[in-house]
Amino acid sequence: MPEEIQVKSILNKHKKRDDWFLDDYSVNPYSGCSFNCIYCYIRGSKYGENMAKTLSVKVNAPELLERQLSRRAEKGEYGIIALSSSTEPYMPLEEKLKITRKLLKIILKYRFPVEVATKSNLVLRDLDILKEIDKKAILPSDLKPRLKHGLIILFSISTLDERLAKILEPGAPVPEKRLETMKKCKDEGLFTGMCFIPVLPFLSDSEEQLEEMIKTAKKYGADFIFVGGLTLFGNGQADSRTLYYRFLERYYPELVPKYKSLYRIFASPSKEYLKKLEERSKEICKKHNIRYKIV
Ligand code: SF4
164 contacts 157 by C-beta, under 8 angstroms: no
Q: Which atom of ligand 1 is nearest to the CA of 42?
A: 8
For 261, list phi and psi in degrees, rounded to 5. -75, -35
Ligand 1: centre distance to CA 37 (Å): 5
State the average pLDDT over residues 246-260. 98
Residue type, 56: S
79 contacts 23 by C-beta, under 8 angstroms: yes
> Can you give the pLDDT at residue 93?
96
% of the chain at pLDDT higher than 70 = 100
Domain 3-292 matching CATH 3.20.20.70: the answer reads yes
> Can you give the pLDDT at residue 81?
98
In this model, does residue 246 exceed pLDDT 90?
yes
Per the prediction, the chain carries an average pLDDT of 97
Ligand 1: centre distance to CA 34 (Å): 8
CB count within 10 Å of CB 83 equals 23
Q: Which atom of ligand 1 is nearest to the CA of 117?
A: 2
23 CB within 6 A, ligand 1 = no
pLDDT band at 1 (very low <50, low <70, confident <90, very high): confident
State the average pLDDT over residues 165-178. 98
pLDDT band at 154 (very low <50, low <70, confident <90, very high): very high
Give pLDDT tens digits for 9-19. Answer: 999 999 999 99
pLDDT band at 98 (very low <50, low <70, confident <90, very high): very high
Interstrand relation of 11-13 and 25-27 (parallel, antiparallel or unpaired): antiparallel
Give pLDDT tens digits for 30-85. Answer: 999 999 999 999 999 999 999 999 999 999 999 999 999 999 999 999 999 999 99
The maximal CA–CA distance of the chain, rounded, in angstroms, is 58
Ligand 1: centre distance to CA 75 (Å): 33
**Cα distance between the two ends of the chain:** 40
Angle (nearest 5°) at CA 177 between 172 and 181 = 110
36 CB within 6 A, ligand 1 = yes
Q: Specify which residues 196 forms β-bridges with.
A: 227
State the average pLDDT over residues 154-169. 98
30 CB within 6 A, ligand 1 = no
37 CB within 6 A, ligand 1 = yes
In this model, does residue 265 exceed pLDDT 90?
no
137 contacts 106 by C-beta, under 8 angstroms: no
152 CB within 6 A, ligand 1 = no
